[in-house]
Amino acid sequence: MRWVVLGFLFLLSVLNYTDKSVLGLAAEPIMSELNLTYDQFGLVGSSFFAAYAIGSIVLGTLTYRFNSKYLLMMIAVGWTISLASAYFVETLTQLIILRVVLGFFEGSTLSMCLVHLARWFNSSQRGLATAIMTSGTTVGTYLAAPLLVMGITNYGWQHTFALLGVASFIWAIFFFFMRDEPEQPLVEDVKSLASNKEVPFKHILKVFVNPYVLSILVVGFVSMWITTWVLTWAPTYLTQIVGLKPQDMSLIFAGMGIAGTVFAICAGKFTDSLFKKNKSLIKSYDRVLVTVLLVGAVSYAMTTIVSSPVLACVFLGVGLIMNTSLLPLNAAIKTLIIPKNLVGSITGISLSISSMAGIIGPWITGYLITIAGDDVRSGFNAGVIVIVSLYVATAIVLLVTRKLKITATEKENESRVAEDQAKLEVAIDQ
25 and 161 in contact (C-beta within 8 Å)? no
User: How many beta carbons lie within 10 A of that of residue 429, not counting itself?
Assistant: 6
269 and 404 in contact (C-beta within 8 Å)? no
What pLDDT score does 330 carry?
85
Distance CA 116, CA 344 (A): 9
Round the average pLDDT of the chain to a whole number and report it: 83
Q: For 62-72, what is the mean pLDDT?
A: 89
Give 77-98 pLDDT, tens digit per residue.
999 999 999 999 999 999 999 9
**pLDDT interval class at 42 (50, 70, 90):** confident
Q: Does the pLDDT at position 242 exceed 80?
A: yes
Distance CA 380, CA 304 (A): 8
**pLDDT interval class at 230 (50, 70, 90):** confident
* Alpha helices, H only, 119-210: 126-138, 145-155, 157-175, 204-208
373: left (phi over 0), alpha (psi -120 to 50) or beta: left
- List domains and CATH numbers for the chain: 1-184 (1.20.1250.20), 188-430 (1.20.1250.20)
How long is the chain? Answer: 430
What pLDDT score does 413 carry?
43
End-to-end alpha carbon distance in the chain: 47
Ranges 21-30, 186-195, 254-263: which has the least confidence:
186-195
171 and 49 in contact (C-beta within 8 Å)? no
Which residues, at least 6 apart from 323, have a Cβ–Cβ distance to it below 8 Å? 223, 226, 227, 230, 260, 296
Distance CA 397, CA 211 (A): 9
**Residue 413 is inside which H or E element, if any?**
helix 410-429
Query: Helices 309-337 and 343-371 meet at what angle, rounded to 10?
Result: 160
Phi and psi of 34, rounded to 5°?
-95, 0
92 and 38 in contact (C-beta within 8 Å)? no
What pLDDT score does 302 carry?
94
Give 153-165 pLDDT, tens digit per residue.
889 999 999 999 9
Is 373 strand, coil or helix?
coil
Is 407 strand, coil or helix?
strand
Q: For 284-293, what is the mean pLDDT?
A: 90
Distance CA 225, CA 357 (A): 5
- Strands, E, within 235-352: which ranges? none
What pLDDT score does 191 carry?
62
Q: For 325-342, what is the mean pLDDT?
A: 84
What pLDDT score does 192 carry?
60
Give 386-423 pLDDT, tens digit per residue.
999 999 999 999 888 877 766 544 344 444 444 444 44
Ranges 219-223, 393-397, 425-429: which has the least confidence:
425-429
Q: For 353-365, what is the mean pLDDT?
A: 79
351 and 110 in contact (C-beta within 8 Å)? yes
